[in-house]
Chain A
Amino acid sequence: MIVTPGWYMALAAVLFLIGASGILLRRNALVMFMSIELMLNAVNLTFVAAGRELNLIDGQISVLFVMVVAAAEVVVGLAIIVAVFRRRSTASVDELAELKG
């Protein structure tokens, strides 16, 4: 039984889903943020697997760029979270629901 890239992509899809569920269900900003990272990882896996099937290196290149982007995002995101924490001393987004309606 041979593992086709399809398997990886399906797995990636599931991972992506779990990541999304983290955002939809958790309310700790950090965890939600990690979920985003997880989703990006799932996408990366998709890229690589697809690239292998297509026999294109672009898939792997993309992963590198995504990683850079993710890194930058992490920095900014954590900065924001820290800023929030500094004022409210909490990382739960439920405290941040004043703007609505």
Chain B
Amino acid sequence: MTDFPILTTIILLPIAGAILVMFLPSRRPELVLPVSIAASLVTLGAVGWLLVEFEAGEAGFQFVEQVSWYSDWGVGWHVGVDGISLLLVALTALLFPIGLAASTGVKHRVREYAASMLFLEAGILGVFLCLDLLVFFIFWEAMLVPMYFIIGIWGGERRVHAAIKFFLYTALGSALMLSGIIFLGLTGGEGGPTFDFVELLGADLSRTTQFWLFAAFGISFAIKVPVFPFHTWLPDAHVEAPTAGSVILAGVLLKLGAYGLLRFNLTLFPEAAVEFVPVLAVLAVIGIVYGAIVAIVQTDIKRLVAYSSVSHLGFVILGIFALTSHGLQGSVLQMVNHGLTTGALFLLVGMIYERRHTREISQFGGLATVMPRYAAAFLFVSFASIGLPGLNGFVGEFFILIGAYLSLPVYAIVGASGVVLAAVYLLWAYQRMFTGPIVVEENRALTDIGFREVAILAPLLALILFLGIYPKPALDRIEPSVNRVLERIEQTTDYEVPEFGTVGP
């Protein structure tokens, strides 16, 4: 633990990079991507340092920096990282250089593109690290703008519609949250208004207040996740977004919602959280099954992956509202896993899209004969996403399901069926795309993925395998923090984590 403001640095580095990119000479466009990648790599380096310095087994926030900005409002700069946000920060910092490296397809307005990506990174990191609700919201909302541009300018045919839908839908949610935040900030603090998360933990809110605040925050996060009925913006946004956009969207942005539910709704409004458990558990399970079933029949591979995200995020939500240590650990880990696997999947889809300029599954078939390496990578990631033991996907789902069984047995059992459906839609898609004879002639000429693409995928695949075989390092950092969340809920409400087992720990 040094007192060097590492977290602020991590947030500022991408911004600096973006500004630098903006001022690159406009007649040297080929410099843009390398510079931006370098910037994001520096950020990654800083995050790596953070990972090393982080005290595993510490429950509380670390590397905390706190400065008061405006006492009348009780707003200030308060950043800190704990086991819940640590891995998500790492994931973010990892996915951005990869996404940028995979953006060679972007041809026009490269500078603006790279800049938006870096601003987006800064925004996401800010969301994960900020502990002042108002500042958190600033990052939360500001982040929409670069994403909006990324979808809207560099996206596909119906990009404008998708971009606006994405923007307005999420903005609607956050609008409610904003009023909630202001209300909480004015009423929550003891000595005058405060938006400080840690101070607000002390706020004693009436049951009904908690209920409404939970709803205000919850809807915003649920839209972002997205939880079942609020999910329709996701497929559109994914299909239209450029590859890197989809990678970031699925890899990180969706996690923000789950993170918010875990970080804010569970800790700030514990009573309401306990009340809401049935609602969200039901929605989560519906999401798991529904997303998977809908994914089965998609004809657009990107849409398919998008719906699979709905299903996987359903697991995350189920784990969160299982309100058991195992479930929560599983959820946090599952967020990271989903980021890795789905990120990789979108990269792969992007690679084939660059070659064939179509995402229609029916346009492929028998690719494994011409692109063996690509097929192997795709199958590997698919199995990770299916939740094959030994790959990361399994660990998260295992924790979530068993954790959920302890408190919500029925939901857990129903949710487990998602495991089967995942196999159905992914393997069927793989069968249609990669096996059988080659029917479409264009596909004969396809070239297998080259060194650059392998290099882009390699880190993700490596992590997928590593986290699957040896998740302990990750879990050791997650466990204390989530346990603290549970303890808080147990102290402040009459909820009790279910007792289980006679032999075990």
* Touch between chains A and B, by CB atoms below 8 Å: no
